[in-house]
Each structure stands twice: as C-alpha cells, then as structure tokens.
C-alpha cells in the first residue's frame, strides 16, 4: 500500500529526502580547485556535500544545508540532442527535455523552466542578462519557484553558456527566506572562477 498520499506534504517531502539520502553516494568537496565531470573547473571557498548523481537525474549536485534545502547543480558538456534530465516513466505527455546546440539563451531558460515545473511546481522568471560565464559569452537568469511537493518558496539563479555546441550551466536554488541569501555570495564567487576544459 502506498502511504505517501496519506501523509501531509511536508512529511512526504521529508520521507522522500531520507529515502534518497540513504541511496545516494555523498562525498565532501573541500575548499580549493575541483573539477566537475572532468570538464568544468571551479575554485571552492568552503566545504560542500556532493551527491554525484543528484536526485535520480545523474546531475552532480552540491549542498550545504541538505539536498532538499539548498542545491547547487552542474550541467556539464551536454551535447546536441542529449537530454538535460531523464524523462520520467510515469506521466503521459511529458516531453523529453532535449538540448539543441542552436538554442539561444531564452530557449535554454525555457528548457530549464520545463524541467523545474514538470512536477507541477510554479516558476516565475525574474531577470535575464547577458554575462560572461566560464570564459565564454553567456547569460544569467534569476527566478522564483513554488515547489509543489511542500509549497516551499524558492529563489534560484543560474549561469549558462554554449561552447563548441555543448551546454554548460550552473544552477543554485534555496528557500528565499534565510537560506538563499546565506549562501548565494559563495555561489557567485565560485561561478566567477569557472572555466571549461577542452
């Protein structure tokens, strides 16, 4: 019998987090230079906890507070025609989230919005700007998200670029009250050091 529908949303989210944490391979990311997926080099000014496979989508994800609180995600070297995340088996009509090397910033943001909202969460794009990222012309966008599973209001910021037809994107999100402002300066500092290995 599936008990999740009988649990309050917050309890269900906590239970999900505990199950995922029990299955995840967690390692420490020490301060200093580190390489993500052998392609993206960043300098880290504090320790992070790393979930190499993320939340079941194979995306490297780092956290300070806990995987369901704050998440720093790395999309590294996604090639033309590849998915940015697996398509869920359940749910008819869910479109594959396929990256195309011809996509402009607005298209990539729309693709990422589709990823964040395919569970029914609510996304609001707040700001988009052109900015260098990883030594390349890139873009930065800020957003608000109301997570459906527990109604938590998140803030997020992401940086991206397409280099030699591959997508590189770093996303950070956390609850807007307290946690986001607590860690976003460290994330900004990390992003400024990013560089792509050929």
Burial class (CB in 10 A: 0-12, 13-18, 19+), 113: middle
The mean pLDDT of the chain is 87
| pLDDT computed for residue 32 by the predictor | 93
User: Higher confidence at residue 126 or residue 86?
Assistant: 126
pTM for the whole structure: 0.85
As given in the structure block, the two tokens for residue 15 are 């239970």
| pLDDT computed for residue 19 by the predictor | 42
Assess whether pLDDT exceeds 50 at residue 11.
Answer: no
User: Which H or E element spans position 95?
Assistant: none
pLDDT digits (tens, 9 = 90+) for 89-131: 766 677 899 999 999 999 999 999 999 999 899 999 999 999 9
Assess whether pLDDT exceeds 80 at residue 12.
Answer: no
The beta-carbon contacts of 9-12 under 8 Å, at least 24 apart in sequence, are 9/149, 9/150, 9/151, 10/150, 12/149, 12/150
Per-residue pLDDT, averaged over 25-40, amounts to: 92
Assess whether pLDDT exceeds 90 at residue 62.
Answer: yes
The beta-carbon contacts of 113-117 under 8 Å, at least 24 apart in sequence, are 113/143, 115/84, 115/85, 116/143, 116/145, 116/156
Domains, the chain, ordered by start? 4-196 (3.40.1000.10)
Assess whether pLDDT exceeds 50 at residue 20.
Answer: no
Tokens 């790393």, residue located:
50
| pLDDT computed for residue 4 by the predictor | 40
| pLDDT computed for residue 53 by the predictor | 62
User: Higher confidence at residue 85 or residue 128?
Assistant: 128
CA 175 vs CA 145, 146, 150, 179: distances in Å: 9, 9, 11, 6
Q: Please spell the DSSP secondary structure of 121-174, one letter per residue.
A: -EEEEEEEEE--BTTB--EEEEEEEE-TTT--EEEEEEEEEEETTEEEEEEEEE
Per-residue pLDDT, averaged over 19-42, amounts to: 81
């Amino acid at each position: 019998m599936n008990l999740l529908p009988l649990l309050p949303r917050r309890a269900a989210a906590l239970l999900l987090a505990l199950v995922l944490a029990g299955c995840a391979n967690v390692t420490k990311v020490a301060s200093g230079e580190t390489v993500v997926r052998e392609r993206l080099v960043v300098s880290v000014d504090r320790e992070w906890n790393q979930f190499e496979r993320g939340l079941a989508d194979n995306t490297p994800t780092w956290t300070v507070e806990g995987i369901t609180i704050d998440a720093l995600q790395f999309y590294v070297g996604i090639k033309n025609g590849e998915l940015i995340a697996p398509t869920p088996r359940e749910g008819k009509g869910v479109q594959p989230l396929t990256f195309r090397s011809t996509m402009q910033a607005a298209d990539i943001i729309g693709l990422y919005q589709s990823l964040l909202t395919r569970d029914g969460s609510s996304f609001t794009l707040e700001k988009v700007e052109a900015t260098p990222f990883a030594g390349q012309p890139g873009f930065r966008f800020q957003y608000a998200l109301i997570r459906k599973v527990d109604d938590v209001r998140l803030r997020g910021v992401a940086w991206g670029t397409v280099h030699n037809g591959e997508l590189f994107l770093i996303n950070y999100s956390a609850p807007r009250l307290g946690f986001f402002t607590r860690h976003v300066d460290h994330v900004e500092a990390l992003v400024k050091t990013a560089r792509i290995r050929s």
